[in-house]
Amino acid sequence: MNAGVILIDKPQGISSFQAVARVRKKTGIRKAGHTGTLDPMATGLLTICLGRATRFARFLTDAQKTYEGTITLGMETDSYDAQGKIISEKPVPRGLSRHDIQEAARRFTGRLLQAPPAFSAAKFQGRPLYKFARNGINIQKQPRPIQVFRFCIEAYESPVITFTIDCSKGTYIRSLAHDLGKALGCGAHLSSLRRIRNGELSVEKAVCLDDFIASSGPEEITRYILPVEFVLSHIPAIFVDERQATAIQHGQGMSLVSAMKRIEEQGACPQGEKPSYLRIITEGRGRLVCMARWPDTKAVIKNDDRIEILRVWNPN
């Protein structure tokens, strides 16, 4: 199999880029990329797309992420995590409880604006921010919209908080840790982080990077490569016959009226809702034909309005 997705459990101490490079070398598939960066300090689920599957990475990148980890109170670092230089130390408030921390964490749920931290891979003038920060230059980037669906304080044993977070793509967990410390009046930094979910994909189904690298022979490697159809199964789908599938793959597309009718008849979405993304698959075999996007439509849909075809899947 020269196209698909591998779920890797990334160890601590290497970058996401280094993990991808090791998978690329092991598989011999030159085209490879991940769907969301994990800092070297972080462990957990790194979803790596191979070959033609890289064209579908965006649909996994946009998925909700779940993390678990720890925050240490009383100490701030310049990078907001345990790998940075200590810049401030304050005593943790006496009598601080898990309930108090949970109440403070509620301020950082919902739709938020968050600026990338100085020590991050976000770009300024084509260079990552951390390269400026290492030279003592602090670049302030414009805040970007994020969403924190859940910020749950699982346990607290001073000075360490154990938490779980569900959030949108692009959320910096160490920034949330830093902001929580500010809200509690004692400062804080992220002391450990593990990604456990990316959309419907779980780290429980991932293979440890070292185990994957140690695998022998094409057959053992192939068993770790998941088909694109499987990893996109969380996205609503409509079914077409083989004749319609061939027409779509040859550029004829599909009308919005036809797509809407199928959504309603096949129960692809809750009534009245229109999906952001849509899978078009074949009846019977369930073969992925393409990924489509529901456009921002006017109140009245005309017969010649078309659904936007984003990616046509051809595994060969």
**Active-site residue set:** 39
Radius of gyration (C-alpha) of the chain in whole angstroms: 22
SS3 104: helix
**Within 13 Å, how many C-alpha atoms sit on residue 185's CB side?**
6
CA 256 to CA 292: how far, in whole Å?
A: 11
Strand 207-208 and strand 4-10: the pairing is: parallel
In terms of C-beta density within 10 A (0-12 exposed, 13-18 middle, 19 or more buried), how is residue 232 classed? buried
Residue 302 corresponds to which amino acid? K
Q: Among 107, 133, 111, which residue's Cα sits nearest to residue 120?
A: 133
- All residues at 6 or more sequence positions from 129 whose CB lies less than 8 Å from its CB, including other chains: 116, 117, 118, 119, 120, 121, 122, 123, 139, 141
Angle at the Cα of 220 from the Cα atoms of 216 and 226, rounded to 5 degrees: 140
CA 159 to CA 145: how far, in whole Å?
A: 30
Q: Among 25, 31, 65, which residue's Cα sits nearest to residue 49?
A: 31
Maximum CA pair distance of the chain? 70
Contact 215, 222 (CB under 8 A): no
Contact 214, 39 (CB under 8 A): no
Residue 30 corresponds to which amino acid? R
| Backbone torsions φ then ψ of 297, nearest 5 degrees | -100, 160
CB atoms within 10 A of CB 121: 14
